[in-house]
Amino acid sequence: MAITKVTSSVLADGSVATATIADDAVTGAKIENAVTIATSVTSPLVDGQNFKINGGQGTDGQVLTSTGSGVAWEEAGGGAVSAVANGADNRIATFSSSTALNGEANLTFTGTAFTAESTGALTTVFSSLQNTANALNLTTTGGVTAGIFLAAPTADHSFGFQTGGTERMRIDSTGEFLVNRTDGFGTGGAAAMFVTGRSDAAIYVTGPNTSGYTLMSFHNGGLNQIGSIKNSSNSAVIYATSSDYRLKENVDYTWDATTRLKQLKPARFNWISDAADTTVDGFLAHEVSSIVPEAIDGVKDATKTSTNCVLNAEGNLYKAGITEAEWTAGKEDSTYESDTSWTASHTQNIYQGIDQSKLVPLLVKTIQELEARITTLENA
């Protein structure tokens, strides 16, 4: 049967097989102006290499869109492709150039900075989100920058926060929490938290005006409280350490305090670091350690040797485990101060300490023994 024109009635379901239409056999002259392809057509195959609209296949980067009077290939950044719509007039994104993406509520992405602005309070909080020097910076419309940085300024996997363009705190790669400083002391991971104070104080601790309120609590690994700092009558603080009888055994009240007290050597001295050479009273830790060992922390003449060390201007260990090349690069990007130095090995002193409150029981017991002797002499 000869077909003069291909119409919807001719293309009935299943009446024309692909084998029936030879390549290039159906031309525009042989197709009726209005041809409807039934929805029952299954598994359609479009040859991407030979598929053409208005005689063309478009160029790289173009998309097929409606022009209002037909369909055509258009640039993704202009022409009819001006918005991605979600509903009638609810645009969620527009393209103003090949690299710029604009959205509702002044949402833009320039290829470098992602910006979101509004006429409300959001404007003063979040104006732009930009990746600069491994940092996500939030900039207000007034130009004030705050942000979250990742591994900046060096690739040490740090995570931190900055305000006014200045770093305020960070968690470094060892898990140390640093406030107003960019590094801990000595070997990384030595402590959980480091705080550099301001002009008045490093840490303010406050609470309600309630006597007995715990300002700070100290616990052991088993979460048992072993000490605290509490509000005392809203005018003072109590520094308390565990002393409950239920924590003690082998309690003895009959021991010689006077003999031990007489071995102590109270002294007067000044601290080497005190430029004013102020004379103070106290003890030398190692001279107390054999008499009241619980009052002393550390060992006499102890030292610790570290390798690949950055030293501060005073020659003290600032950070260990840093190669000379890393230190040199760190001075250039201000990770390390210009007056720091590097050494392959550094030995630092580990100083002893004393808790003089541990001497109080010895003093009290000695006074009691002396009182007993005086009373004995008076009654003789």
Q: What is the DSSP string of 206-240?
A: ---S-TT-EEEEEE-TT--EEEEEEEETTTEEEEE
pLDDT of the residue at 184: 72
Q: What is the mean pLDDT of residues 159-183?
A: 80
**Strand 177-179 relative to strand 193-195: parallel, antiparallel, unpaired?**
parallel
- pLDDT band of 169, cuts 50, 70, 90: confident
The answer, yes or no, to whether residue 9 has pLDDT greater than 80, is: no
- pLDDT band of 139, cuts 50, 70, 90: low
The answer, yes or no, to whether residue 191 has pLDDT greater than 70, is: yes
pLDDT of the residue at 305: 95
The answer, yes or no, to whether residue 106 has pLDDT greater than 70, is: no
The answer, yes or no, to whether residue 8 has pLDDT greater than 90, is: no
Encode burial over 108-126: b for 16+ CB neighbours within 10 A, e otherwise.
bbeeeeebbbeeeeeeeeb
Q: Rounded to 5, what percent of the chain is helix, strand, coil?
A: 15, 30, 55
- pLDDT band of 152, cuts 50, 70, 90: very low
Q: Answer yes or no: are the C-beta atoms of 350 and 303 closer than 8 Å.
A: yes
CA distance 146 to 140: 8
Determine what percent of the chain is predicted with pLDDT higher than 70.
62
Tokens of 369: 């023994």
CA distance 174 to 183: 10
The per-residue pLDDT of the chain, averaged, comes to 77
More confident residue, 313 or 6: 313
CA distance 354 to 284: 9
CA distance 158 to 155: 8
pLDDT of the residue at 180: 84
Give residue 282's identity as a one-letter amino acid code: G
More confident residue, 178 or 290: 290
- pLDDT band of 104, cuts 50, 70, 90: low
The answer, yes or no, to whether residue 127 has pLDDT greater than 60, is: no
CA-based nearest residue to 77, from 66, 93, 57: 93
Interval 213-223: pLDDT, tens: 999 999 998 98
Q: What is the mean pLDDT of residues 88-108?
A: 53
The answer, yes or no, to whether residue 343 has pLDDT greater than 60, is: yes
Q: What is the mean pLDDT of residues 241-258?
A: 96
- pLDDT band of 199, cuts 50, 70, 90: confident
Cα Rg for the chain, rounded, in angstroms? 40
Coil, helix or strand at residue 359: helix
pLDDT of the residue at 215: 93
Q: What is the mean pLDDT of residues 93-106?
A: 55
Sign of CA dihedral 47, 50, 53, 56: positive
The answer, yes or no, to whether residue 293 has pLDDT greater than 90, is: yes
Tokens of 170: 């960070």
The answer, yes or no, to whether residue 262 has pLDDT greater than 80, is: yes
Length of the chain: 380
pLDDT of the residue at 177: 86
More confident residue, 191 or 316: 316
The answer, yes or no, to whether residue 183 has pLDDT greater than 60, is: yes
CA-based nearest residue to 6, from 32, 27, 29: 32
Q: Which residue has the tokens 């602005």?
A: 117
